[in-house]
Amino acid sequence: MKETLSCLHPNPGWENCYLENVAASEYESLDEMIGKHCILELYECDQSKLNDEAFIRTSLTSASKVAGATLLNMVTHRFEPQGVTGLALLAESHISIHTWPESRYAAIDVFTCGQQTMPEKACKSLFREFAAKTYSLKSFQRETPVSIKDLSREP
C-alpha cells in the first residue's frame, strides 16, 4: 500500500500527494532546535474559569509574557452551552486552549520558537491559573531544517 499525504491541502489543485514526491534532501539534515512544543492537559480545573472567555484571554496573555514571547493577536470563541477555544498568536508561534467545563478539563498547546522562550513556564502559569488538581505535560524539541536555519524574520 502506498503511503499518501492528505490531498485536503490549503492550496487546492495540488496533485500527486505522495510522500515520495517530497524532496527528502530538504529534511534529511536537521540542525539545531527551532523551538519547544509542550502539550499540556489540565484535569479537575475550576469550572467557572474554563467557561469564562475573558478570563481565558487574560490567562493566555499572562502565559505569553511568562514564556518571554511576543503576543501578536488573540482569537477566542465561547460555545453554547459551555466551553471556550482560544488562540494566542505569538511572534514565536502560538498558545492554544480548548476547554470542557463539564468535564473540568482543558487541552493546551504551547509552541515557541527560539532559544530565549520558556514554554514550560507558560504551562506552569496556566496550571495555576485554572486551579487544576492534576496535569499531564509532554514536551519535545522541534528541529530546524537546514534550509531555513539561517533565515531571519522580524515580527
pTM above 0.85, yes or no: no
Distance CA 23, CA 12 (A): 20
Indicate which residues carry an active-site annotation.
93, 98, 113
119 is a domain residue: yes
3 is a domain residue: no
Q: Are 76 and 55 in contact (CB under 8 A)?
A: no
- Cell numbers 481565558 label which residue? 56
- 106 sits in the region (left: phi over 0; alpha: psi -120 to 50; else beta) called beta
62 is a domain residue: yes
Residue 15: CB atoms within 10 Å:
8
Task: Give pLDDT tens digits for 78-129.
Answer: 999 999 999 999 999 999 999 999 999 999 999 998 788 999 999 999 999 9
**CATH number of the domain that 52 lies in?**
3.60.90.10
26 is a domain residue: no
Q: Are 122 and 95 in contact (CB under 8 A)?
A: yes
